Protein backbone atom coordinates (compact mmCIF):
# COMPACT_ATOMS: atom_id res chain seq x y z
CA UNK A 1 0.00 0.00 0.00
CA UNK A 2 1.46 3.36 -1.00
CA UNK A 3 1.37 6.57 0.99
CA UNK A 4 -1.64 7.85 -0.95
CA UNK A 5 -3.69 5.00 0.48
CA UNK A 6 -2.29 5.21 4.02
CA UNK A 7 -3.51 7.67 6.65
CA UNK A 8 0.05 8.02 7.97
CA UNK A 9 2.21 8.89 5.00
CA UNK A 10 5.68 7.53 5.85
CA UNK A 11 7.29 10.01 3.46
CA UNK A 12 6.22 12.80 5.82
CA UNK A 13 9.08 11.69 8.11
CA UNK A 14 11.71 12.44 5.46
CA UNK A 15 14.19 14.97 6.78
CA UNK A 16 16.53 16.94 4.55
CA UNK A 17 19.76 18.59 5.60
CA UNK A 18 18.06 21.98 5.15
CA UNK A 19 15.13 20.92 7.36
CA UNK A 20 17.49 19.70 10.05
CA UNK A 21 19.61 22.86 9.99
CA UNK A 22 16.53 25.06 10.35
CA UNK A 23 15.22 22.98 13.25
CA UNK A 24 18.39 22.30 15.24
CA UNK A 25 21.04 24.74 14.05
CA UNK A 26 23.97 24.44 11.68
CA UNK A 27 26.28 22.96 14.35
CA UNK A 28 24.50 19.60 14.39
CA UNK A 29 25.33 17.42 11.43
CA UNK A 30 22.66 15.06 10.22
CA UNK A 31 25.25 12.87 8.55
CA UNK A 32 26.98 12.23 11.87
CA UNK A 33 23.71 11.16 13.46
CA UNK A 34 23.13 8.85 10.51
CA UNK A 35 26.56 7.33 11.07
CA UNK A 36 25.61 6.71 14.71
CA UNK A 37 22.49 4.89 13.53
CA UNK A 38 19.86 7.49 14.44
CA UNK A 39 18.88 8.04 10.80
CA UNK A 40 18.83 6.05 7.57
CA UNK A 41 20.22 7.83 4.50
CA UNK A 42 17.58 7.44 1.80
CA UNK A 43 19.37 9.52 -0.84
CA UNK A 44 21.79 12.43 -0.99
CA UNK A 45 20.63 15.00 1.54
CA UNK A 46 17.54 12.96 2.48
CA UNK A 47 17.31 11.04 5.76
CA UNK A 48 14.66 9.03 7.61
CA UNK A 49 14.43 8.12 11.33
CA UNK A 50 16.08 4.71 11.71
CA UNK A 51 13.51 3.24 14.11
CA UNK A 52 10.65 4.08 11.76
CA UNK A 53 12.60 2.90 8.70
CA UNK A 54 13.28 -0.50 10.22
CA UNK A 55 9.55 -0.95 10.92
CA UNK A 56 8.38 -0.14 7.38
CA UNK A 57 7.43 -2.94 4.95
CA UNK A 58 9.35 -3.06 1.67
CA UNK A 59 6.69 -1.24 -0.37
CA UNK A 60 6.55 1.70 2.03
CA UNK A 61 10.34 1.92 2.10
CA UNK A 62 10.25 2.14 -1.67
CA UNK A 63 7.57 4.85 -1.45
CA UNK A 64 9.89 6.89 0.78
CA UNK A 65 12.75 6.33 -1.68
CA UNK A 66 10.51 7.55 -4.51
CA UNK A 67 9.48 10.69 -2.63
CA UNK A 68 13.08 11.44 -1.70
CA UNK A 69 14.25 11.08 -5.30
CA UNK A 70 11.44 13.34 -6.54
CA UNK A 71 12.25 15.97 -3.92
CA UNK A 72 15.89 16.00 -5.01
CA UNK A 73 15.12 16.66 -8.69
CA UNK A 74 15.58 20.25 -9.84
CA UNK A 75 12.91 20.06 -12.55
CA UNK A 76 9.38 18.70 -12.19
CA UNK A 77 9.72 15.27 -13.73
CA UNK A 78 6.80 12.84 -13.82
CA UNK A 79 7.10 9.70 -11.70
CA UNK A 80 6.13 6.61 -13.70
CA UNK A 81 6.07 2.81 -13.85
CA UNK A 82 6.62 1.14 -10.43
CA UNK A 83 7.33 4.53 -8.81
CA UNK A 84 3.90 5.82 -9.80
CA UNK A 85 2.35 2.47 -8.88
CA UNK A 86 3.51 2.58 -5.27
CA UNK A 87 2.07 6.07 -4.78
CA UNK A 88 -1.22 5.08 -6.44
CA UNK A 89 -1.74 1.97 -4.30
CA UNK A 90 -1.03 -0.59 -7.04
CA UNK A 91 0.62 -3.81 -5.82
CA UNK A 92 3.93 -5.49 -6.58
CA UNK A 93 3.73 -9.25 -7.02
CA UNK A 94 7.42 -9.86 -6.31
CA UNK A 95 8.32 -6.75 -4.32
CA UNK A 96 9.40 -3.25 -5.35
CA UNK A 97 12.31 -2.51 -7.69
CA UNK A 98 15.59 -0.86 -6.77
CA UNK A 99 15.22 2.07 -9.18
CA UNK A 100 13.02 5.17 -9.15
CA UNK A 101 11.34 5.76 -12.52
CA UNK A 102 10.69 9.12 -14.21
CA UNK A 103 9.28 10.12 -17.59
CA UNK A 104 11.17 12.89 -19.36
CA UNK A 105 10.33 14.58 -22.64
CA UNK A 106 11.69 13.00 -25.78
CA UNK A 107 13.25 16.34 -26.76
CA UNK A 108 15.16 16.83 -23.51
CA UNK A 109 16.08 13.19 -23.14
CA UNK A 110 18.05 12.74 -19.95
CA UNK A 111 20.41 10.06 -18.81
CA UNK A 112 19.64 7.38 -16.27
CA UNK A 113 22.06 6.79 -13.43
CA UNK A 114 22.34 4.30 -10.57
CA UNK A 115 19.04 4.25 -8.71
CA UNK A 116 17.28 6.51 -11.23
CA UNK A 117 15.69 5.32 -14.48
CA UNK A 118 14.54 7.96 -16.98
CA UNK A 119 12.16 7.06 -19.82
CA UNK A 120 12.30 9.47 -22.76
CA UNK A 121 8.79 8.89 -24.09
CA UNK A 122 5.81 11.03 -25.05
CA UNK A 123 3.06 11.64 -22.52
CA UNK A 124 -0.31 13.39 -22.81
CA UNK A 125 -1.34 15.82 -20.06
CA UNK A 126 -4.44 13.65 -19.52
CA UNK A 127 -2.11 10.89 -18.33
CA UNK A 128 -0.62 12.95 -15.50
CA UNK A 129 -2.05 13.42 -12.01
CA UNK A 130 -0.76 14.68 -8.65
CA UNK A 131 -0.27 12.53 -5.54
CA UNK A 132 1.11 14.01 -2.31
CA UNK A 133 2.21 17.06 -4.30
CA UNK A 134 4.19 14.98 -6.81
CA UNK A 135 3.47 14.60 -10.52
CA UNK A 136 2.80 10.95 -11.36
CA UNK A 137 1.29 9.07 -14.25
CA UNK A 138 -2.38 8.26 -13.81
CA UNK A 139 -3.53 4.80 -12.81
CA UNK A 140 -4.47 3.98 -16.40
CA UNK A 141 -1.18 5.20 -17.87
CA UNK A 142 0.77 3.40 -15.13
CA UNK A 143 -1.03 0.12 -15.86
CA UNK A 144 -0.26 0.41 -19.58
CA UNK A 145 3.39 1.35 -18.99
CA UNK A 146 3.87 -1.65 -16.72
CA UNK A 147 1.87 -4.01 -18.93
CA UNK A 148 4.35 -3.32 -21.71
CA UNK A 149 7.47 -4.19 -19.69
CA UNK A 150 6.72 -6.41 -16.68
CA UNK A 151 6.43 -10.18 -16.59
CA UNK A 152 2.86 -11.25 -17.33
CA UNK A 153 1.94 -12.24 -13.80
CA UNK A 154 3.07 -8.89 -12.40
CA UNK A 155 1.42 -6.94 -15.23
CA UNK A 156 -1.94 -8.67 -14.77
CA UNK A 157 -1.71 -8.21 -11.00
CA UNK A 158 -1.42 -4.44 -11.48
CA UNK A 159 -4.21 -4.30 -14.07
CA UNK A 160 -6.56 -6.46 -12.00
CA UNK A 161 -6.09 -4.26 -8.93
CA UNK A 162 -6.80 -1.13 -10.94
CA UNK A 163 -10.14 -2.60 -12.03
CA UNK A 164 -11.05 -4.49 -8.84
CA UNK A 165 -14.37 -3.71 -7.15
CA UNK A 166 -14.77 -5.22 -3.69
CA UNK A 167 -18.26 -6.45 -2.80
CA UNK A 168 -17.69 -5.47 0.82
CA UNK A 169 -16.81 -1.90 -0.04
CA UNK A 170 -13.24 -2.19 1.29
CA UNK A 171 -11.62 -1.38 -2.07
CA UNK A 172 -12.88 0.75 -4.94
CA UNK A 173 -11.97 0.53 -8.61
CA UNK A 174 -9.06 2.82 -9.43
CA UNK A 175 -9.77 2.80 -13.18
CA UNK A 176 -12.10 1.30 -15.78
CA UNK A 177 -11.23 -0.77 -18.82
CA UNK A 178 -12.24 2.20 -20.95
CA UNK A 179 -9.63 4.27 -19.10
CA UNK A 180 -6.98 1.67 -19.86
CA UNK A 181 -7.88 1.41 -23.54
CA UNK A 182 -7.96 5.20 -23.95
CA UNK A 183 -4.52 5.60 -22.39
CA UNK A 184 -3.19 2.73 -24.53
CA UNK A 185 -4.49 4.41 -27.69
CA UNK A 186 -2.94 7.78 -26.77
CA UNK A 187 0.44 6.11 -26.38
CA UNK A 188 0.50 4.43 -29.80
CA UNK A 189 2.84 3.55 -31.32
CA UNK A 190 5.05 2.24 -28.52
CA UNK A 191 7.22 -0.78 -27.80
CA UNK A 192 5.23 -3.53 -26.10
CA UNK A 193 1.85 -2.25 -27.31
CA UNK A 194 0.60 -5.70 -28.41
CA UNK A 195 1.59 -7.22 -25.09
CA UNK A 196 0.00 -4.34 -23.17
CA UNK A 197 -3.26 -4.71 -25.12
CA UNK A 198 -3.36 -8.43 -24.31
CA UNK A 199 -2.94 -7.65 -20.59
CA UNK A 200 -5.78 -5.12 -20.70
CA UNK A 201 -8.03 -7.58 -22.55
CA UNK A 202 -7.27 -10.27 -19.95
CA UNK A 203 -7.61 -8.04 -16.87
CA UNK A 204 -10.66 -8.52 -14.65
CA UNK A 205 -12.43 -6.54 -11.94
CA UNK A 206 -13.20 -9.84 -10.16
CA UNK A 207 -9.67 -10.86 -9.14
CA UNK A 208 -9.35 -9.91 -5.49
CA UNK A 209 -5.69 -10.56 -4.73
CA UNK A 210 -2.24 -10.90 -6.34
CA UNK A 211 -2.52 -14.66 -5.69
CA UNK A 212 -5.66 -14.83 -7.81
CA UNK A 213 -4.15 -12.72 -10.59
CA UNK A 214 -0.99 -14.83 -10.81
CA UNK A 215 -3.11 -18.00 -10.76
CA UNK A 216 -5.32 -16.69 -13.58
CA UNK A 217 -2.28 -16.14 -15.77
CA UNK A 218 -0.85 -19.59 -15.11
CA UNK A 219 -4.23 -21.27 -15.59
CA UNK A 220 -4.39 -19.67 -19.05
CA UNK A 221 -0.76 -20.37 -19.93
CA UNK A 222 -1.18 -24.04 -19.00
CA UNK A 223 -4.27 -24.35 -21.19
CA UNK A 224 -6.77 -25.27 -18.47
CA UNK A 225 -10.45 -24.33 -18.95
CA UNK A 226 -11.28 -20.70 -18.32
CA UNK A 227 -12.70 -20.45 -14.79
CA UNK A 228 -15.66 -18.43 -13.58
CA UNK A 229 -14.37 -15.88 -11.07
CA UNK A 230 -16.13 -15.22 -7.77
CA UNK A 231 -18.83 -17.83 -8.40
CA UNK A 232 -21.45 -17.83 -5.61
CA UNK A 233 -22.46 -20.77 -3.44
CA UNK A 234 -24.90 -20.82 -0.53
CA UNK A 235 -23.42 -22.13 2.72
CA UNK A 236 -25.58 -22.15 5.87
CA UNK A 237 -27.98 -19.69 4.28
CA UNK A 238 -25.30 -17.17 3.27
CA UNK A 239 -23.70 -16.43 -0.08
CA UNK A 240 -20.01 -17.29 -0.32
CA UNK A 241 -17.82 -16.69 -3.34
CA UNK A 242 -14.98 -18.87 -4.57
CA UNK A 243 -11.92 -17.69 -6.48
CA UNK A 244 -12.23 -20.13 -9.40
CA UNK A 245 -15.10 -22.36 -10.48
CA UNK A 246 -14.73 -24.70 -13.45
CA UNK A 247 -18.36 -25.36 -14.45
CA UNK A 248 -17.83 -28.18 -16.96
CA UNK A 249 -15.86 -30.16 -14.36
CA UNK A 250 -17.87 -28.82 -11.38
CA UNK A 251 -14.66 -28.12 -9.46
CA UNK A 252 -13.40 -25.25 -7.34
CA UNK A 253 -9.95 -23.73 -6.88
CA UNK A 254 -8.89 -21.29 -4.17
CA UNK A 255 -5.69 -19.22 -4.22
CA UNK A 256 -5.04 -18.82 -0.51
CA UNK A 257 -2.74 -16.41 1.28
CA UNK A 258 -1.67 -15.53 4.81
CA UNK A 259 -3.13 -12.06 4.57
CA UNK A 260 -6.71 -13.18 5.16
CA UNK A 261 -5.64 -14.72 8.48
CA UNK A 262 -3.25 -12.06 9.77
CA UNK A 263 -4.27 -8.72 8.24
CA UNK A 264 -6.39 -6.86 10.80
CA UNK A 265 -8.50 -5.15 8.14
CA UNK A 266 -9.37 -8.39 6.36
CA UNK A 267 -10.14 -10.18 9.64
CA UNK A 268 -12.92 -7.67 10.42
CA UNK A 269 -12.38 -7.93 14.18
CA UNK A 270 -11.91 -11.71 14.27
CA UNK A 271 -8.90 -13.54 15.65
CA UNK A 272 -6.75 -15.62 13.26
CA UNK A 273 -8.20 -18.73 14.88
CA UNK A 274 -11.75 -17.53 14.21
CA UNK A 275 -10.87 -16.77 10.61
CA UNK A 276 -9.36 -20.25 10.19
CA UNK A 277 -12.47 -21.90 11.68
CA UNK A 278 -14.83 -19.80 9.55
CA UNK A 279 -12.79 -20.69 6.46
CA UNK A 280 -12.99 -24.40 7.32
CA UNK A 281 -16.79 -24.23 7.63
CA UNK A 282 -16.99 -22.30 4.36
CA UNK A 283 -14.81 -24.83 2.55
CA UNK A 284 -16.75 -27.79 3.95
CA UNK A 285 -19.99 -26.20 2.76
CA UNK A 286 -18.65 -25.68 -0.75
CA UNK A 287 -17.07 -29.14 -0.93
CA UNK A 288 -20.48 -30.73 -0.31
CA UNK A 289 -21.80 -29.04 -3.48
CA UNK A 290 -19.04 -29.77 -6.01
CA UNK A 291 -17.05 -32.70 -7.39
CA UNK A 292 -13.63 -31.39 -6.48
CA UNK A 293 -11.91 -28.69 -4.42
CA UNK A 294 -8.27 -27.58 -4.32
CA UNK A 295 -6.49 -24.85 -2.40
CA UNK A 296 -2.98 -23.53 -3.06
CA UNK A 297 -0.63 -20.89 -1.57
CA UNK A 298 1.25 -18.01 -3.19
CA UNK A 299 4.29 -20.17 -3.97
CA UNK A 300 2.12 -22.32 -6.25
CA UNK A 301 0.12 -19.40 -7.67
CA UNK A 302 3.25 -17.88 -9.20
CA UNK A 303 4.66 -21.16 -10.53
CA UNK A 304 3.30 -22.33 -13.89
CA UNK A 305 4.64 -25.85 -13.36
CA UNK A 306 3.53 -26.30 -9.76
CA UNK A 307 0.04 -24.95 -10.47
CA UNK A 308 -0.18 -27.27 -13.47
CA UNK A 309 0.54 -30.24 -11.20
CA UNK A 310 -2.00 -29.09 -8.61
CA UNK A 311 -4.79 -28.66 -11.17
CA UNK A 312 -4.01 -31.92 -12.95
CA UNK A 313 -4.31 -33.59 -9.54
CA UNK A 314 -7.70 -31.88 -9.20
CA UNK A 315 -8.69 -33.60 -12.44
CA UNK A 316 -8.86 -30.59 -14.75
CA UNK A 317 -8.21 -31.23 -18.46
CA UNK A 318 -6.00 -29.20 -20.81
CA UNK A 319 -8.54 -27.73 -23.23
CA UNK A 320 -7.11 -24.55 -24.77
CA UNK A 321 -3.81 -23.23 -26.13
CA UNK A 322 -1.85 -20.45 -24.47
CA UNK A 323 -2.83 -16.97 -25.59
CA UNK A 324 -0.74 -16.21 -28.69
CA UNK A 325 -0.02 -12.59 -27.83
CA UNK A 326 1.82 -13.75 -24.72
- Other beta carbons within 10 Å of 81: 23
Please report whether residue 133 resides in a domain.
yes
Compute the radius of gyration of the chain from its Cα atoms. 22
DSSP code, position 108: T
302 versus 259: which is more confidently predicted?
302
Last residue of a domain, one of 154, 181, 202: 202
**Claim to verify: residue 260 and residue 229 sit in the same structural domain:** yes
Number of domains into which the chain is organized: 2
**In this predicted structure, what is the pLDDT of residue 152?**
95
**Claim to verify: residue 190 and residue 272 sit in the same structural domain:** no
DSSP code, position 121: -
Mean pLDDT along residues 240-255: 96
CA neighbours closer than 13 Å in the CB half-sphere of residue 158: 34
Please report whether residue 277 resides in a domain.
yes
**Claim to verify: residue 82 and residue 198 sit in the same structural domain:** yes
**Claim to verify: residue 59 and residue 11 sit in the same structural domain:** yes
Mean pLDDT along residues 216-245: 95
**Claim to verify: residue 125 and residue 187 sit in the same structural domain:** yes
Please report whether residue 188 resides in a domain.
yes
**Claim to verify: residue 93 and residue 192 sit in the same structural domain:** yes
**In this predicted structure, what is the pLDDT of residue 44?**
73
CATH code at position 276? 3.40.960
Residues facing 47 on adjacent strands = 15, 41
The secondary element (H helix, E strand) that includes residue 273 is helix 272-287
Closest by Cα among 309, 295, 217 to 260: 295
Residue 37, C-beta contacts closer than 8 angstroms, at least 6 positions apart: 50
Q: What is the pLDDT of residues 54-67, one digit of tens each?
A: 888 999 999 988 98
Quick one: 114 exposed, middle or buried, by C-beta within 10 A (0-12, 13-18, 19+)?
Answer: exposed
Mean pLDDT along residues 283-294: 94
Q: Mean of the per-residue pLDDT values for the chain?
A: 84
**Claim to verify: residue 38 and residue 96 sit in the same structural domain:** yes
**Claim to verify: residue 146 and residue 36 sit in the same structural domain:** yes
Please report whether residue 123 resides in a domain.
yes
Give the separation between CA 234 and CA 317, rounded to whole angstroms.
Answer: 27
**Claim to verify: residue 194 and residue 154 sit in the same structural domain:** yes
Residue 219 domain boundaries: 210-314
The string of DSSP codes covering 163-214 is H---TTSSS--S--HHHHHHHHHHH-S-TTHHHHHHHHHH--TT--SHHHHH
Please report whether residue 319 resides in a domain.
no
**Claim to verify: residue 132 and residue 34 sit in the same structural domain:** yes
In angstroms, how far is the first alpha carbon of the chain from the final one? 28
Q: How confident is the model at residue 114 (pLDDT cuts 50, 70, 90)?
A: confident
Last residue of a domain, one of 167, 202, 237: 202
The model carries a pTM of 0.85
Last residue of a domain, one of 168, 202, 236: 202
Ranges of beta strands (E only) in 18-147 are 39-43, 46-49, 78-79, 100-104, 116-120, 128-131, 134-137
Please report whether residue 320 resides in a domain.
no
Closest by Cα among 200, 283, 197, 289 to 251: 289
Please report whether residue 162 resides in a domain.
yes
**Claim to verify: residue 73 and residue 26 sit in the same structural domain:** yes
Contact (Cβ atoms closer than 8 angstroms) between residue 52 and residue 75: no
Q: What is the pLDDT of residues 289-314, one digit of tens each?
A: 999 999 999 999 999 999 999 999 99
**Claim to verify: residue 194 and residue 214 sit in the same structural domain:** no
Q: What is the pLDDT of residues 7-52, one digit of tens each?
A: 456 556 555 444 443 444 433 466 777 767 778 888 777 778 888 8
Please report whether residue 103 resides in a domain.
yes
Amino acid sequence: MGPSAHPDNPADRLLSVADYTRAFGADLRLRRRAERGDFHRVSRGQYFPRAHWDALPAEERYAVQVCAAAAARQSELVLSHESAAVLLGLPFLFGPPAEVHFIVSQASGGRSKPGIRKHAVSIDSRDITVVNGLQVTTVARTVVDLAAVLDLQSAVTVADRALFVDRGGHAAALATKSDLYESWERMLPFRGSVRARAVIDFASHLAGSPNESASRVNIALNGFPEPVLQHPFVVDGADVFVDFYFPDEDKVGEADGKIKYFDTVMRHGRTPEQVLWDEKLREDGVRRQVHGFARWPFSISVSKGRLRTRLLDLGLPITRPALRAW
